[in-house]
Amino acid sequence: MLDVVIVGAGISGISCAKHIRASDGMRQHRIKVLEATDRTGQFSLRLQEDAPKPSCRKTAQLSIGAQPGSTADQGMPLGVIHDFATEKGLMLDKDWMSDPKWQWEVLPLRHLHGSEASPTEKQAFEEMESAFDSFTDKEAVGDQADEKSLGALLDEEFQKWAQQKEHDAAMMQTMFEFKKREMSSGVGSPDLYTASANGFVQAEDGFGHDCIPLPHGYSSIVDAMLKEVPGLEIQHGAAVKEATSHDDHVEITLENGDKLQARTVVFTVSVGVLKSGQIRFKPELPQEKQEAIQRMGFGHVEKCILTFDNDTWETLKHGVHCLWPPERDGYRNAVLNDWEQSIVAFYPNQPRSSRSLVAWIVADGFSNTSAPEKVMNLLRRCLGRDVPDPVETNLTNWGRDRRFLGSWSYLSAGQPLDAFGMLGKPFGRVFFGGEHTHPKYFGTAHGAYESGARCAQEVIEKLSPPL
């Protein structure tokens, strides 16, 4: 019989294995990781490892994951995972901001009909950029935080702010809707009126704003953790169908019919998988836990990565911000009815030697392969000129991948903050990790990492003989 089975070989699952193995008295315990896909790392993968064409493997370090907590440049917030990356020498040195390959730039601002924004519009955009963060500070959220949606909060604060401005009302509405579209990709929801204002404030506190690029993406974190667990047994293509709890063990049934027994089991699968009911728990999970799972928001963010030849890249390397005209019914219906309208920018991937632009798309996956063509047409519209086709296109489809069914979690409007704690609460010999179980760092990679460490401690306590 195994001592520990960990379901899911992402950052949380590997972190759990690493912390268990590092504990005194646990080094001889048998640990096995079950991963439903054919890869370790889940969201942390790079296209460098998966690209079908040699050109991308030679030139790019591209993160294909809508990975929690990272930015388009594969940056990472300060925290425990930052400390681990620093310890392992995975970070850029302190002078990274002076390196042109990694420097941030202000993206050009253009309308969808191809014209550049006017000086007045640029000024209004800058003012909106400066003011927008204050719309979601703790004072703005107020006492009714749990019940207030993020969209409603933004609308209220914008109206107060806009009354003090002299810019044209339509112009300010355009800038405001741009920022809401941008926030949708950060939260992961096309409908900010279903997301909790309080949850967003909590996430902002946990995420912070200091990001430092990881030159080799988040998969370097997974690789470094695996080196600390030599000989860790990872079985790929091992999707769990059922977990049956007994007094002294848990029996795991795989989709292929194979069975395993372990003294403890740790689930680090996504909220999307838990919501879908792909995994049956016997006996059933407590009702309050089931309700927390079903109510929890789970984002749908995809990436379309366009890689260009050298000549074309020289004309595109600064990226572009796209200004959509204000909709009569606001951005909400526009984005819900057409995922294209969730795209607000084409971000230069860093390092710039990758020659790639990244569009973040708020969409529930794609049912066909026409999305990259639609994204390219949008880029051409925004630039107001023809652009040669990319030499390579990569499109994620996490929302339609039944092993993920989304990207990262967010708190639904009306849902209490302790819902994350409920998702992480153990059930007998069954434990739960993943970014969605962290009460503060949900939706981030460091939340996933810390949840793995928490599960490890819970497992250690369960397996340790009584004093």
In this predicted structure, what is the pLDDT of residue 61? 44
Average pLDDT over residues 348-375: 83
In this predicted structure, what is the pLDDT of residue 75? 45
pLDDT in tens, 21-52: 999 878 789 999 999 999 888 655 444 333 33
For the entire predicted model, the pTM comes to 0.88
Do residues 135 and 152 touch, judged by C-beta distance below 8 A?
no
Q: What whole-number distance in Å separates Cα of residue 252 and Cα of residue 238?
A: 11
In this predicted structure, what is the pLDDT of residue 420? 92
Q: In this structure, which amino acid lies at residue 119?
A: P
Which DSSP helix (H) or strand (E) runs through 268? Answer: none
Return phi, psi of residue 212, to 5°: -120, 125
Which DSSP helix (H) or strand (E) runs through 394? Answer: strand 392-395
What one-character-per-residue DSSP string does 146-196 give?
Answer: TT-BHHHHHHHHHHHHHTT--S-HHHHHHHHHHHHHHHHHHHT-S-GGGBB
Average pLDDT over residues 345-349: 87
Region of poorest pLDDT, from 76-85, 147-156, 435-444, 454-463: 76-85
Q: What whole-number distance in Å separates Cα of residue 326 and Cα of residue 253?
A: 52
Q: What angle do CA 128, 133, 139 make, to 5 degrees?
A: 125
Nearest-CA neighbor of 64 among 80, 44, 81, 38? 44
Cis peptide before 351 (omega within 30 of 0): yes
Evaluate whether the domain defined by 2-44+217-298+403-463 bears CATH number 3.40.50.720: no
Sign of the dihedral through C-alpha 69, 75, 79, 83? positive
Do residues 40 and 237 touch, judged by C-beta distance below 8 A?
no
In percent, the amount of the chain with pLDDT more than 90 equals 40
Per-domain residue ranges for the chain?
Answer: 2-44+217-298+403-463, 119-205
Q: Give the highest mean pLDDT range of 250-264, 314-328, 344-358, 361-375.
A: 250-264
Region of poorest pLDDT, from 17-26, 67-76, 142-151, 433-442: 67-76
What one-character-per-residue DSSP string does 132-153 give?
Answer: HGGGGSHHHH-TTTTT-BHHHH
Q: In this structure, which amino acid lies at residue 62?
A: L
In the chain, DSSP finds a helix count (H) and a strand count (E) of 17, 18
CA distances from 118 to 110, 327, 398 (A): 9, 20, 38
The pLDDT-based confidence of 293 (bands split at 50, 70, 90) is: very high
pLDDT in tens, 118-136: 999 898 888 888 888 888 8
Region of poorest pLDDT, from 54-58, 221-225, 328-332: 54-58
